[in-house]
Chains A and B, each alone.
Chain A
Amino acid sequence: MESSTTGTSNPGNIGSPTPVTPANGTEVEKVVVRFAGDSGDGMQLTGNEFTKAAALAGNDISTFPDFPAEIRAPAGSIAGVSGFQLHFSSTDIHTPGDAPDVLIAMNPAALKANIGDLQLGGTLLINTGAFTKPNVAKAGYESNPLDDEAQLKNYEVHLVDINKLVNTALEETGLTSKEKGRCKNFFALGLMCWRYQRDAQPQIDNILAKFKKRPAVGEANVLAFKAGYNYGLTAEVFQATYKVKPASFEPGRYRNITGNEAVALGMVAAGQLAECPVVFSGYPITPASTVFHYLSNYKNYGVTTFQAEDEIAGIGAAIGASYGGAIGVTASSGPGIALKGEAIGLAQIVELPLVIISVQRGGPSTGLPTKTEQSDLYQSLFGRNGECPLPIIAAKTPTDAFYCAIEATRLATKYMTPVILLSDGYIANGAEPWKLPEVDDLEPFPVKHLKDAEGWMPYKRDEETLARSWVVPGTKGMAHRVGGLEKDFLTGNVSYDPENHERMCKIREDKIMGISKDYGDFDIEGEESGDVLIIGWGGTHGALRQAVGVLREDGKSVSHLQIRHMWPLNPKLGDLMKNFNKILVCELNMGQLLMVLRSEYLVDATGYNKMQGKPFTVAEICNAVTELV
C-alpha cells in the first residue's frame, strides 16, 4: 500500500490483474512478502532466514511474525495457520507493510486465512501438493480453491507442487517421508531467495549452522533450499527476478534485533552502566518469556536469573534482590502483571528500585496471548490499591526497547522506585536493523549503596530527587526496618499519624511527578503547530510515522508525536496540543491514552482505535486523518 501511495512502481505489486513480464533483475523499491503455512511448517524459521538474507543485502527491514497461541493446533486448520511477514526496502521504512505483495501459501488453510490481505495483482505462490481433498475440507473450503478461477484471476498465480519436488530432491537421503515434509519450507525459502537475487551460499551456511547438532537434517534442508533456488532458475516459475537495492544507512555496524532480545540486552547494559548486578526473576508467559530466555544465557555478564513458582513470587524475589542491593527485574504480560499488582505497591511504598517489563497482549483475561494490543496502559497507571504512582515508559520499536530498558533502570535507581516498561507483542517479536551502539558512548549511572550512617535516616530524602537512600542489609550500623505499613516520614517506623500519611502520599507523588524534569525535547515529526497532531505510544510508532510521511507529502498539515514517558507525562504536552486544531490519539485499545490526555489537559482529542490483535496499517491512519479534517 505504501508503495502505491508514494507513487513508486513495484512489480511485486503490479496493481493490475494483467500479468506484466518485467526483465530479469528489475529494480524495485520495496517488497512485502508473507510466508504462511501450518504451525508445523516452519514458517517462522523461513521468515527469519529470509529476513537475514535481506539484511545482509543491506535492505531496510521490518518484520511481523503472527502465530497461533496453540503450539500445534490441528494440522491443516485455520486456527493452526502461522505467518511471517517481511517488508524489505531500498528506502527507509517503519512498518512490516500493510498488505503483502507476495504471498506464499503452503496449504489451503494458509491460503484461506491470508488471501484477503494480498494486494490485488499481487504474486501468489501456492504449494499445490498440500491441496488434497482432506486439507481443502479442513480449511473449510467447499471445493478446491485452485479451481476458483474467478478469485485467482485477481493475482499473478504460481502453482508449484512443493511437496512432490522436495520429495524428489530428497529421494536419496534416506529420510522418512514425514522428515522430508519438514524440509519443504526451505524449498520456499530457496525459491524466494532466487526471486530476489540473494546469494545462495550465505543461506546455505546459515542452514548448516542452524542444524549443526543434526547434520543430516541440515544437509536435507540445504538440498531442499537448493532445489527451490534452482527451480526458480530453470523452471521459470517466475518470469523474472527482482532486485531491491540496499537502503542507505548511517555508517556503522548493524544487526537484526527483536524487541524482547533488545530488552534483555538493554538490561545487561543497564547493569553494567549502573555498576550493579542484575537479578531477573519471573514466570513464563507469552509473549514475555523470551526476555527471560535471553537473560538466562547471560550469567557471565552479571545477570542471575530465577524461575519462580508463580508471577507473585517472580516479583517477590525481584524485590528481595533489590532489597539486597541488586537491580531486581521481572517481566510478564497482562495476566501476570495483574497478579503482581500488590507487590508493585509494596516496592513503591518501601521505595526500592525495580524494573517491571510488561509485554502487552490482547486481553482481558487470557485474551489473545500471541496477538498484540495496547490495552494495559490503565493497568500500568491504576492497577494497584492506594495512591501508587510510578514511572511508565513505552518502547516504540524493537531497537528502542534496548534504550528504554536502560532508561527504566536509570529512573528506578535514581528515584528509588519501581518502573514499568511497556512493550507489546508486536515489538517483542518484530525485528528491525539496529545500528549497534558503542558501549563507551552509553552514559553510566553508577548506583550508590549508602554506607555512612552520619546524618542518615531510613526515609530521609535527597532534596532534589526526593529519593531515599539505598542502604543494603549487611551494612554496619544502619540496620533498619521497612515494610508495607505506612511509615514515619523520617525514621521509617510504622506510623498511623493522619498528617504523616497525607504527607507521605504527597511526597511519593511529588517524587514521581518530579521525574519529568529529566525529560528532553519532544521527538516530533513535522511542525510544532498545524491542523492535526497525531499522538501515539508504543509499537504503533512505525505505522504512525509512515502515515504522517505520506500525508505530509500530500500537502497535509499533520505532525506526529510518539510519547515515550507515559507517566508522568511531559509537562510541555499541554501547550504543544494547544498549537493544533485537532488531536488524533491512535491506539490499539479502546482509548486509554485518550482518556488520560482528556482528563489531564481538558483537551478535545479524538481517538482512533483498533482491537483486532493486529497493528495499524498505514492506510488506516491516513484514512482516519482524512476523515478528521
Chain B
Amino acid sequence: MTEKQTRRDFVSDQEVRWCPGCGDYAILAAVQKCLADTGATPENSVFISGIGCSSRFPYYMKTYGFHSIHGRAPSIASGLKLSNPDLDVWVITGDGDALSIGGNHILHALRRNVDLNIILFNNKIYGLTKGQYSPTSSEGTKSPTTPFGSVDYPINPFSLALGSGATFFARAIDVDAKSLGPILQAAKAHKGTSLIEVTQNCPIFNDGVWDAVTNRKTATSNQLRLEEGKPLLFEGGQKGIRLGEGLTPEIVEVGEGKASESELLVHKADGSDAYHAMLASMAAPEFPQPLGILKQVARPSYDELALAQVDQVLKERGKGDLNALLSSGMTWTVGPDGRPE
C-alpha cells in the first residue's frame, strides 16, 4: 500500500443506524482508525458479532463481516480461526450477548486463548429489545421486566475473565478515543484472546449509567489510568492506592507528610493473581475505576497449539494415504471364485 490508509478505507457503504448519541459511533470510529493505523487490510480483517445493538457493527465495516446469532460469535470466530489462522478476527458483543446468553462461549474462548479480539460493549442494559436489565446492571435497576427493581447481583467482566484464565483484559471509555486507540492496537497485537470492556453509554435506555466514571468533572477522582510500571495514582497525583489490610486496596493521600509514592502499588499487567483480583474489586464511586490494560500475560494461543499438533502428526506420520486408511485394520481378499483367498 503506497498511500497511507485512513479510517475512511474501512467505512462501508451502509448507513449507520444506531440512535443519535449512542456510544457505539465512537467505538466504530476508533476501530476503523486502529485498522488504518496498524496497516490492516480489508480482506484480512473479519468482524463477527452476535445479536444486540452493537452487533450491527460488522455491517458498517468495509471488511469481511458475519452478523451471527445471539451469543455465539466466539464459537464461529474460533472455527474461522482454525480454518484460516492468518486472518485478524474480531468479535463484537454486548453485555447481554457475551455475559448472558453467550456466557459459556466467552468463558471457553478465554480459557482456550483463541487468537481473537473481543470488544465487549457494556452499557448495562438490553437496548435492542427496549430496555430490560442486563447481567451487568446494578442491583435495583428498574426496567420493563423489573418494575420494582432487579434483585440479582451483577457480573464483573474482569472477574469472569480472571476466572477463565484470560491472557488480556483492558477497559476503556467509549468516547475516550485517545485511550481507546492504543488499547485496541495492543489487543490486536496480543497473541491469544484479548477482551476489551468498553464502558458504553446508551442515551435511550440507560443514559448516564457510567457517569460516575466518565463525567469529565469528576474524572480525575473517579478514573485510575493504569500505566505499566507506574504507581497507582489518581486525582492529579494527589491520591494513590496502597496495599491495605487483608490484601485489600486502600486509598491514601500522597505528598509531603502523607503517604509517599514508594508505598503505592505499581501497575504490572502481568502481575500476581492477588493484584489482579484487587483491581477487579475496585469500582467507582467507592474507588477510582481502573482503566487501561488491566492484565496481559503470554500463553500460546489455542489455534497455534492445535495447528502445531496437526503439523507434528504430519511430520511423524507423513501425509495420510486414503487407500491405506480405508484398508486399515483387518482385511481379507476375495478371489475371482467369490471365496476368500
Contact = CB atoms under 8 A, between A and B. Distances in A.
Interface of A: 52, 55-58, 206, 246, 248-256, 265, 268-269, 272, 277, 279, 281, 298-302, 304, 306, 308-310, 312-314, 316-326, 328, 342-343, 346, 350, 435-439, 472-485, 493-494
Interface stretch (B68-76, B171-179, B197-205, B259-267): B68-76
Interface stretch (B56-64, B232-240, B245-253): B56-64
A57 B48 CA distance: 56
A323 B12 CA distance: 20
- Main secondary structure, interface of B, reads mixed
A57 B340 CA distance: 7
B317 A483 contact: no
A58 B76 contact: no
Contacts of A57: 340
Interface string B85-109: 0110000000000000000110110
B327 A436 contact: yes
Contact of A254 (B63, B83, B332): B332
B79 A279 contact: yes
Contacts of B332: 55-56, 58, 253-255
B79 A324 contact: yes
B105 A313 contact: yes
Given A325-B84, A484-B67, A313 B108 contact: yes
- Main secondary structure, interface of A, reads mixed
A325 B317 CA distance: 25
B54 to A, nearest CB: 14
Interface residues of B, number: 63
Contact of B79 (A306, A474, A479): A306
A326 B310 CA distance: 15
Contact of A317 (B46, B78, B334): B78
Nearest to B323: A439
A402 to B, nearest CB: 9
A264 to B, nearest CB: 10
Nearest to B48: A320
Pairs of residues from A and B, 3 with the lowest C-beta to C-beta distance, nearest first? A320-B79, A483-B67, A316-B75
A590 to B, nearest CB: 31
B69 A254 contact: no
Given A255-B329, A255-B331, A475 B105 contact: no
B336 A251 contact: yes
Nearest to A481: B65
B322 A317 contact: no
Interface string B326-338: 1101111111101
A343 B72 contact: yes
Given A251-B335, A313-B104, A484 B68 contact: yes
Interface in B287-322: 306-307, 309-310, 313-314, 317-320, 322
B82 interface: yes
A298 to B, nearest CB: 7
Given A56-B340, A58-B340, 13 more contacts: A56-B330, A272-B322, A299-B309, A300-B313, A312-B105, A317-B75, A317-B78, A320-B76, A321-B83, A326-B83, A437-B326, A473-B44, A479-B62
B274 interface: no
Contacts of B41: 476
Contacts of B224: none
Contact of A474 (B43, B61, B67, B339): B43
